[in-house]
Amino acid sequence: MQTEHILINDPAEQAEDIRRAAGIIRAGGLVVFPTETVYGLGGDATNAEASRRIYAAKGRPSDNPLIIHVAFPQDAAKYAYTDALYDRLADAFMPGPLTVIMPRKPIIPLSTTGGLETVAVRCPSHPVAHALIAAAGVPIAAPSANLSGKPSPTCAAHVAQDMDGRVDMILDGGDCEIGLESTIVKLDRDEAGEYLTLLRPGGITYDALCCVCPRVAVAPAVTEMLSADVRPLSPGMKYRHYAPATPVVLLDGTPEDVLSYLQQRQAVESCAILCYDEEIPYLRPERLLPVGARDDLATHAHTLFSRLRESDALQADVVYAHLPPREGLGLALYNRMIRAAAHTVRKIQR
Ligand code: TXA
Ligand code: MG
């Protein structure tokens, strides 16, 4: 398949390009588009054949459900049974990097939800995503636009590496601002009332969610390794993800101890290092992959997936990275990095 690449600087001025992209979606084709989190591989969420094409293009098992993207928060009610808690979340965080899982309405086919009776809904804030969904007039099902098992793409060059020849069109909207996929919560209810289960941490933090809903449970798979016999709440959590070809090892220790460990390792092995800016003057320059200043979690999130892709090109034997803190945006980084490292954490003590 021939893939058309279109640079979108301003969706308002490029209405004709957006209209053409929307026409492809309505006709059952696939369009990759930018969002504020990562690039999405989009197709008509109400069209079972389009969902099948998405799974095929991504090389993804079809029991792993897709997120459906809507142009306005209130559109969720057309596709899912929303409630008062959804309305509060929408008021607080939408449009933005939050996905909410709710009971599915029949208009969304089971092939889109991986056979589940629930559906994940997100209203992205990126102007190109918004313009495309609004012009398509249908909800757009979109997983991250990477081949299954690769880090999610955060720029059009990474999309092209994975999706050229597999989709009809790629809309290039530059770098994704956040760089990690959306926060996913499930609306739940028990005898004590409503609560949220956090299935995937992202740009909307645990603390921010707690301001809207006093009860937020964190699914075990967010921080722990699931044993093979456990069925995760979110099917995607069971798949190996975000993993570069080179093994990743996370280092846990004081800044001084970890730096001195890295210096020692550089002397004896070919290692790539996802390092903090403060460490650069003290390390050999080869195969350094800076992720921003130590306290700058937003830059770390913004650069992480690019750095993981770059690490593969360096032909190192191992990639070292810091174990992130679990607070704030750190929890999302922690979740992605322990999976990239297949839970390999080395405790460093001098
Ligand atoms: O930021 C994002 O969310 C990006 C952009 C493109 O919007 N999309 C994204 O989609 O990350 P994907 O497919 O790569 O990840 C969606 C995750 C998967 O782990 C999937 O298992 C889970 O959401 N999911 C989707 N629907 C679900 C449902 N009904 N119940 C439980 N988990 C669900
Ligand atoms: Mg993904």
Q: How far is the CA of 20 from the centre of ligand 1 (A)?
A: 26
**Please, what is the Cα angle at 266 between 263 and 271, to 5 degrees?**
130
Q: How far is the CA of 344 from the centre of ligand 1 (A)?
A: 25
Lookup result for tokens 């995607």: 236
Contacts of 74-79 with C-beta under 8 Å, sequence gap 24+, read 75/123, 75/139, 76/100, 76/102, 76/121, 76/123, 78/105, 78/107, 78/139, 79/45, 79/104, 79/105, 79/107, 79/108, 79/119, 79/121, 79/139
- The whole-number pLDDT of residue 275 equals 98
Rounded-to-integer distance, Cα 340 and Cα 181, Å: 14
From atom 19 of ligand 1, which residue's Cα is the shortest distance away?
A: 236
Pairing of strands 193-200, 31-33: unpaired
pTM: 0.96
- The whole-number pLDDT of residue 245 equals 83
From atom 33 of ligand 1, which residue's Cα is the shortest distance away?
A: 234
Query: What is the distance, to the nearest Å, from the Cα of residue 296 to the centroid of all Cα atoms in its chain?
Result: 19
Q: How far is the CA of 203 from the centre of ligand 2 (A)?
A: 15
- The whole-number pLDDT of residue 243 equals 72
Rounded-to-integer distance, Cα 151 and Cα 303, Å: 11
- pLDDT-flagged residues of the chain (< 70): 227-232, 234-242
Q: How far is the CA of 245 from the centre of ligand 1 (A)?
A: 23
Does ligand 1 lie within 6 Å of residue 142's CB atom? yes
Does ligand 1 lie within 6 Å of residue 122's CB atom? yes
User: Ligand 1: which of 98, 184, 238 to mutate, most ligand atoms within 8 Å of CB?
Assistant: 184
Contact present, 147 and 86 (Cβ < 8 Å): no
- The whole-number pLDDT of residue 138 equals 98
- The whole-number pLDDT of residue 193 equals 94
Taking the CA atoms of 330, 38, 232 and 76 in sequence, report the sign of the dihedral they define. Answer: positive
Nearest atom in ligand 1 to 182's CA: 1
Does ligand 1 lie within 6 Å of residue 134's CB atom? no
User: Ligand 1: which of 117, 123, 234 to mutate, most ligand atoms within 8 Å of CB?
Assistant: 234
- The whole-number pLDDT of residue 225 equals 77
- The whole-number pLDDT of residue 350 equals 79
